[in-house]
Amino acid sequence: AKVYGERLGQAQFDTIMRDALAQRLSDLDLAAFVTACAADRLDFDETIGLTRAMQGAGETLDWGDRLVLDKHCVGGLPGNRTTPIVVAIVAAAGHLIPKTSSRAITSPAGTADTMEVMAPVALDIPDMRRVVEAQGGCIVWGGGLHLSPVDDVLIRIERPLDFDSEGQLVASVLSKKAAAGARRVVIDVPVGPTAKVRSQAAAAALSARFEAVARAIGLDLMIQISDGSQPVGQGIGPALEAMDVLKVLRRDPDAPADLRDRALNLARALLDMGGGPAARHNLARELLDSGEAERRFVAICEAQGGFAEPQFAPHRMPVTAPRDGMVTAIDNRRIARVAKLAGAPQRPRAGVLLRAQRGDTVHRGDPLFEIHAETPGELAYAHHYAASHPGMFRIEEPS
């Protein structure tokens, strides 16, 4: 019915989700459903219906009377790996933040991919509860928890189709937040010409959908619109992004300031939503600067199965500036494509290490970024693509 433009009701969404989870629908059936719901074909009521159906198809965690906080970024911005930093700060402040994260769908790294470089993420619910009870937070792969499990079925279909549905995005995010027991959630919406959300108007429309669904399912939601005009940090790919995270937590002088600032903004918003003594002004910064957030992050990693230091890939090649000038734009999608061609996220050490940002002055021959790969063939493949698309870094010559 949806293929022909008809609306679906709650009972129909419930049936489709149950059948998808029970493997009564073929991949062709699921692809037809995903395609029929693509773009903006789901209205607000349908998005609410899909969200409830997805949550209802799995388990819901109960944390009793305790307030549970959570966050999510809608994606489309390479390197925006704020979650490990935010979870460490919020947990160190005394709040519960049982963070479930996904693996990459169309990006060079998901939060679960990056976290898995540093600690195990495939925990079951009893182990997840043990970590959260001991440390106040966790960062685990949602796919192993049976929380909104039908989302993983749909993601498997969406990955090769490589397109986004606003309604399915909102349903996916909020069904998992509700299933994890979250009550107050911050959503980061990066906006930029090559991000997933490309305009302020699109951000406003997406925010309205998030807010409508959150109200309907009883979540207290805050939307933060952020700058999505260029990648965040220096690394793109699981291990390289993990290195950025650790630099911020360790207060390294070379830590990417943009990643630090984004994480602090999100942590501050969550602490404000949580209220109580943890809402004190500048507490997020104090917990990061004192090293308490780093200590809590390592403790979370150890509780999840042990901390590991991320490593570099063995093969690297620079891509250099073709002329003198100022970097005025970086194409998020194309630089992410280079990282994927180099092997990310399937090869965790593969990806891109940025050497220049928007606003930097560069000279001909200066490195714009390095490609990191596990094999010479993947390195050459990614470099060929980068050489064929010199416009991914727009460099304006001095006038």
Break the chain into its structural domains and give their ranges.
Answer: 2-56, 69-304, 315-396
Residue 322 pLDDT: 95
Q: Is 315 helix (H, G, I), strand (E, B) or coil?
A: strand
Question: What's the CA dihedral at 299, 301, 304, 305 to 10 degrees?
Answer: -100
Distance of CA 55 to the CA centre of its chain: 20
Residue 397 pLDDT: 86
Phi, psi of 225 (to 5 degrees): -85, 130
- What is the rounded distance in angstroms from the CA atom of residue 26 to the CA atom of residue 12? 17
Of 10-19, 38-47, 85-94, the poorest mean pLDDT is in: 38-47
Q: Which two tokens stand for residue 371?
A: 């490609």
User: Would you say residue 392 has pLDDT above 80?
Assistant: yes
pTM of the model: 0.95
| DSSP state letters, 183-236 | SEEEEEEEE-TTSSB-SHHHHHHHHHHHHHHHHHHT-EEEEEEEE-SS--SSEE
> Could you read off the pLDDT of 58-73 as tens digits, one per residue?
889 999 999 999 999 9
Pinpoint the alpha helices (H) of 64-165: 83-92, 111-118, 125-135, 150-161
Peptide bond into 231 cis (omega under 30): no
Q: What residues are paired with 197 via a beta bridge? A: 191
**CATH 3.40.1030.10, domain 69-304, yes or no:** yes
Let me know: does 297 contact 308? Beta carbons within 8 Å.
Answer: no
Q: Catalytic pick from 14, 45, 164, 261?
A: 164
**Highest mean pLDDT out of 31-45, 273-287, 319-333:** 319-333
Residue 314 pLDDT: 98
High-pLDDT (> 90) share of the chain, %: 87
164 is catalytic: yes
Residue 280 pLDDT: 77
Query: What CATH architecture applies to the domain 315-396?
Result: Alpha-Beta Complex (3.90)
Let me know: does 82 contact 70? Beta carbons within 8 Å.
Answer: no
For residue 390, the surrounding DSSP H or E stretch is: none
Confidence of residue 5 (pLDDT cuts 50, 70, 90): confident
Confidence of residue 4 (pLDDT cuts 50, 70, 90): low
Q: What residues are paired with 318 via a beta bridge? A: 370
> Could you read off the pLDDT of 112-168 as tens digits, one per residue?
999 999 999 999 999 999 999 999 999 999 888 888 899 889 988 887 887 678 999
Instruction: Give the chain's mean pLDDT.
Output: 95
- What is the rounded distance in angstroms from the CA atom of residue 173 to the CA atom of residue 357? 30
Let me know: does 285 contact 92? Beta carbons within 8 Å.
Answer: no
High-pLDDT (> 70) share of the chain, %: 98
User: Would you say residue 381 has pLDDT above 90?
Assistant: yes
Instruction: Give the contacts of 355 (CB within 8 A, at least 6 positions apart).
Output: 234, 318, 366, 367, 368, 369, 370
Encode burial over 328-337: b for 16+ CB neighbours within 10 A, e otherwise: ebbbbeebbb
Select the CATH number that applies to the domain covering 2-56 from these four: 3.10.180.10, 1.20.970.10, 3.30.70.20, 3.40.50.300. 1.20.970.10
Instruction: Give the contacts of 254 (CB within 8 A, at least 6 positions apart).
Output: 247
